[in-house]
Structure 1
Amino acid sequence: MTTNQHWMQRDLDSLWHPCTQMKDHEWLPVIPIRHGKGLWLEDFEGQRYLDAVSSWWVNIFGHANETINARLKAQLDSLEHVILSGFTHAPVIELSERLGRIAPAGLGHCFYADNGSSATEVAMKMSFHYWQNKGQPDKQTFVSLQNGYHGETLGALSVSHVGLYRDTYKPLLLEVEAIPSPDCYGLPEDQWEAHSRAMFEHMEAKLARNHDNIAAVIIEPLVQCAGGMRMYHPIYLRLLREACDRYNVHVIFDEIAVGFGRTGTLFACEQADVSPDYLCLSKALTGGYLPLSVVMTTDDIYKAFYDDYATMKAFLHSHSYTGNPLACAAALATLDIFERDDVIERNKALSAHMRLRSRELLDHPHVGDVRQHGMIVAIEMVRDKETLEPFPFEERRGLKVYQHALSRGALLRPLGNVIYWMPPYIIEKHDIDFLAEVTREGLEIATA
């Protein structure tokens, strides 16, 4: 059997990894994975790792899932890809129909792209273009939240406000105002609603002042994932929907990371009983198998582009692999599993156990906050528990937890000083117990 070292060296000679300072790999080994099954990833020397972050939040039903595998194999024998301009195929039609049935009310049309950033770009361009088509050309700007994140392409990065990803590229970006976030960090849960209501006053003031020039507001419902898994109350979504209706501004919900059951409901915005004008979905859409994203939108928006060709109102955005049949087949199999296994109901018991075990970590002298929405738990390390003073980022405390977890057979990839659990939905209670044990050990090592 070829060794890990063999593949590590070949990797370092030829690859440039995402979200990585490559010099780190002079001392931090890259882990070559040979095989995946269920919760577990296995390297070339037989070491296994529990995938506690769903391979970057995408793999919700485990690696090598038999249902998704079978659907993909069948699709591969009939059609691997076809242009979606002027042509169509059964998987993309069936997927669009099914998404329309399960999505929040009013989202009747699907526009496909390849990944989450691309979905953000589609929604932004579509909103801007809509207002042009409707004779309101001044509505050109976008509003988003501080600490929000919507992707790495330039439009998506413009509406993102996590400095780590954004600051270097600021001269290239659109001017977008960042409204203070409703982030409830450090607050007991019984204060989340009042805080989220109070923080909405900043958004209300912005909309009242500038709505004639605003095309859309874009936010991540309930959880700002890349911003450190910061969370807030669903009331903010309801207040935003009501205000945008009053001021004639579009709402874009970026559920790329939080959709498909991650926050406890199939879509996070269900918890506020509201629908957006644009719903961006990706990641778990294909069960973690293939790149695919979709922007769902309303009949009203669709009709604003529906006209004779000579009017030049058509939305001429495209990607080569738009609506790829293999990716659509994986998505259909993923929806089959949701229906067959009553996943949302099962997740309630799992999230309750995640809550039980994670709350135990609050007694640690360097844990400032433990927060949760559904199948997302975040544990934030701090230097001072009383003031919530953070550890300096240069100390890379989270990386020490990551290294310890690898030595114990778990993949816990931190966000700075935030350790989080975002596991596949096939996890069992004893696996959660294992993650809690490994996390506590890692905390001791990282804060010693």
Structure 2
Amino acid sequence: MSLTELDLQYIWHPFTQQKNMLPPIAITQGRGSVLIDENGNEYIDAISSWWVNLHGHAHPYIAEKLYRQALQLEQVIFAGFTHKPAVELASRLIPLLPGNFSKVFYSDNGSTSTEVALKMAVQYWWNKRAANDEPGLKRNKILAFKNAYHGDTFGAMSVSDRSVFTLAFHDLLFDVIFIDTPTTENLTETFSLIQQHAHAIAAFIYEPLAQGAGCMHMYSASAMDMLLGFVKAQKIICIADEVMTGFGRTGKLFASEYMAVKPDIICLSKGLTGGTMALGVTACTQEIYSAYLADDKLKTFFHGHSFTANPLACTAANASLDLLLQPSALNKIDWLTNANKLWAGQLQQSAAELGIKNIRTLGTILAFEIEQGKDEYLNNISGAITQKAMAQGVYIRPLGNTVYIMPPYSLTNEEYEKIKAAVMDILSNTA
């Protein structure tokens, strides 16, 4: 049996209706920005394999570092022990992060990094109340954006928009105060709503400037800065979910760099290891951490998992950072940012003829909607676009009728032009 036939017999795929699904393509090799299937067909990975791959597939530098670490130490319990890859990664991340961060807490993916952040923020107020630092307060509500997506575990689902992703579980999710992403027109109304509930709000969680799974919705940095300033004035902990936006995706190392007001907690994953292994980071300020320092053991942060700070994953993250901070990678981010702006301008000029709208770009991300059917994740045009692009050697996976690209930084000019040509051909024959 082929890999695809064995897969169909044994495997359940994510975010995929299994009935009548197309047979999955068996990928046997990755090289730079290209994926290669078992028949030798090549596909440019224009979405970085769900936004995780930064430097290209099977990068020899990361692979060599992993090999050497695997021969030395592959895993050790992280309660009572430590190791060089974890210490090195934390000490390197802290100075790079957009804010006054002090401590790094490790987990295993983006969803758990947000779970950690939510628990960290809620227990911060519980600890303060127990210590009589804030005796009159019981802050346990979360403020979040409509259209948000923070992961698929229950806490992360609760602070995400009520959508097709969470529909079956709505009765089990905790209540959240949802607000619109900020504009100069809605800030006054939003401020009023926040002020009504500020005494009960523990934290505000947000995807800075770009909501990934929310169909790449983008919003204003200046309005967000005003919103963050107001939220901070209410003593509400600010949690930046930079799982998707981190490590150069928005044109800066972190999207929070676009705002003057910085978060108290930041969540990282996806590009953290260059797409090589699963790893999550939740970093916090000293003020947050200090609320857990006590003789009372009930104020301990009781969270962790077996693979916390896995040495191999931390090694991959250190290797990815080595590559990311080189001028060649930073220059490629700038190049992709400028190339996207140029292409967005070209798309804007012919939007009506192509049947597209809402063309937008932020750093290495470019997105637009196809004007067919509803603007929603379940729009069937997604699968048709993917198939047409694959036939031209390009892999994209639209979010419903939202087409986007977010390529790895290994992308060449020729590969970028091939992505453009494929997308333009599809649009010309779809409109």
Select 2:17's aligned residue among 2, 5, 21.
Answer: 21
Query: Which structure 2 residues correspond to residues 166-205 of structure 1 after superposition, within 5 A?
Result: 166-182=166-182, 196-205=183-192
Give the C-alpha shift of residue 336 in structure 1.
Answer: 0.5
Secondary structure at the aligned position of 2:93 is classed as: helix
Taking structure 2 as the reference length, what is the TM-score of the superposition?
A: 0.94
Taking structure 1 as the reference length, what is the TM-score of the superposition?
A: 0.91
Counterpart check, 1:103 vs 2:89: no
Distance 2:297 2:48 in 1: 46
Counterpart check, 1:9 vs 2:14: no
> 1:273 maps to what in 2?
260
Output one character per residue of 1:44-94: Cα deviation in whole Å (capped at 9) or x when no partner. Answer: 000111000100000010001111111111111110010110100001001
Distance 2:379 2:147 in 1: 21
Is contact 2:113–2:281 with CA below 8 Å preserved after alignment?
yes
> 2:359 maps to what in 1?
370
- Report which stretch shifted further, 299-308 or 232-241: 232-241
RMSD of aligned alpha carbons: 1.6
Give the C-alpha shift of residue 394 in structure 1.
Answer: 6.1
Give the C-alpha shift of residue 342 in structure 1.
Answer: 4.7
- Report which stretch shifted further, 136-145 or 405-414: 136-145
Instruction: Give unmatched runs, 5+ long, in structure 1.
Output: 183-195, 384-388
> 2:311 maps to what in 1?
325
Distance 1:284 1:123 in 2: 18
Change (3 A) 1:229 1:393: closer
Give the C-alpha shift of residue 161 in structure 1.
Answer: 0.3
Distance 2:87 2:378 in 1: 49
Query: Which structure 2 residues correspond to residues 331-350 of structure 1 after superposition, within 5 A?
Result: 331-350=317-336
Aligned residue identity for 2:7: D
Distance 2:189 2:28 in 1: 50
Give the C-alpha shift of residue 24 in structure 1.
Answer: 3.4
Is contact 1:354–1:432 with CA below 8 Å preserved after alignment?
no
Counterpart check, 1:424 vs 2:420: no
Select 1:230's aligned residue among 200, 217, 220.
Answer: 217
Aligned residue identity for 1:98: R
Is contact 1:397–1:446 with CA below 8 Å preserved after alignment?
no
Change (3 A) 1:23 1:159: same
Distance 1:162 1:356 in 2: 35
- Report which stretch shifted further, 345-354 or 163-172: 345-354
Distance 1:223 1:34 in 2: 32
Distance 2:83 2:379 in 1: 52
Give the C-alpha shift of residue 341 in structure 1.
Answer: 3.2
Q: How many residues align?
A: 422
Q: What is the percent sequence identity of the aligned residues?
A: 38
Secondary structure at the aligned position of 2:164 is classed as: helix
Is contact 2:379–2:401 with CA below 8 Å preserved after alignment?
no
Distance 1:346 1:13 in 2: 41
Is contact 1:104–1:274 with CA below 8 Å preserved after alignment?
no
Secondary structure at the aligned position of 2:196 is classed as: helix
Aligned residue identity for 1:234: A
Change (3 A) 1:338 1:391: closer
Instruction: Give unmatched runs, 5+ long, in structure 2.
Output: none
> 2:152 maps to what in 1?
152
- Report which stretch shifted further, 412-421 or 270-279: 270-279
Distance 2:377 2:318 in 1: 41
